[in-house]
């Protein structure tokens, strides 16, 4: 059974705050210019979809980022994010990137220095 065939309300934790509509690769540079990362950043993507923005951030700014944390409430996109992170950084994974399967409203983001929402 295709996982998408599971009803959205049965695979999601909490209320939908935005539909899945990923950032286009052409917009990454604009986003990174706006964030202008400094050292020791803790970057959150709230509603991280398939994790591509976090992965791109870490590939480009590994020296500045202490942590890249994605929160995704939909199990389908959460699983894709985990798969993409593993594909990119290997099975040992990059200890700086973390994907959380939860509702963004449940997450303590008090340590964030940058938030994409
Ligand atoms: C506009 S997409 C952004 C995807 C990703 N940030 C990117 O840039 O490619 C919004 C995402 O938020 C997720 N989302 C919606 N409501 C949420 C909630 N309450 N908690 C966590 N994630 C949520 C959706 O499943 C979707 O993947």
Domain residue spans in the chain?
48-109
Q: Is the pLDDT of residue 14 over 90?
A: no
3-state secondary structure 85-102: HHHHHCCCCCCCEEEEEC
Cα–chain center distance at 62? 15
* pLDDT tens-digit series, residues 49-104: 999 999 999 999 999 999 999 999 999 999 999 999 999 998 665 789 999 999 99
104 CA distance to ligand 1 centroid (A)? 9
90 CA distance to ligand 1 centroid (A)? 24
User: Which spans in 8-112 are helix H?
Assistant: 8-11, 28-35, 52-61, 75-89
CATH of the domain spanning 48-109: 3.40.50.150
Residue minimizing CA distance to atom 12 of ligand 1? 47
Helices 28-35 and 52-61 pack at an angle, to 10 degrees, of: 60
Pick the atom of ligand 1 nearest to 16's CA: 16
* pLDDT tens-digit series, residues 22-42: 999 899 999 999 999 999 999
């Amino acid at each position: 059974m295709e996982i998408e065939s599971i009803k959205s309300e049965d695979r999601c934790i909490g209320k939908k705050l935005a539909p899945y509509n990923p950032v286009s690769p052409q917009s990454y540079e604009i986003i990174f210019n706006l964030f202008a990362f400094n050292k020791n950043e803790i970057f959150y993507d709230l509603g991280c979809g398939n994790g591509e923005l976090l992965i791109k951030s870490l590939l480009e700014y590994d020296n500045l980022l202490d942590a890249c944390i994605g929160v995704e409430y939909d199990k389908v996109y959460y699983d894709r994010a985990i798969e993409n992170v593993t594909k990119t950084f290997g099975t040992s994974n990059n200890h700086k990137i973390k994907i959380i399967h939860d509702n963004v409203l449940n997450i303590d983001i008090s340590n964030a220095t940058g938030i994409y929402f």
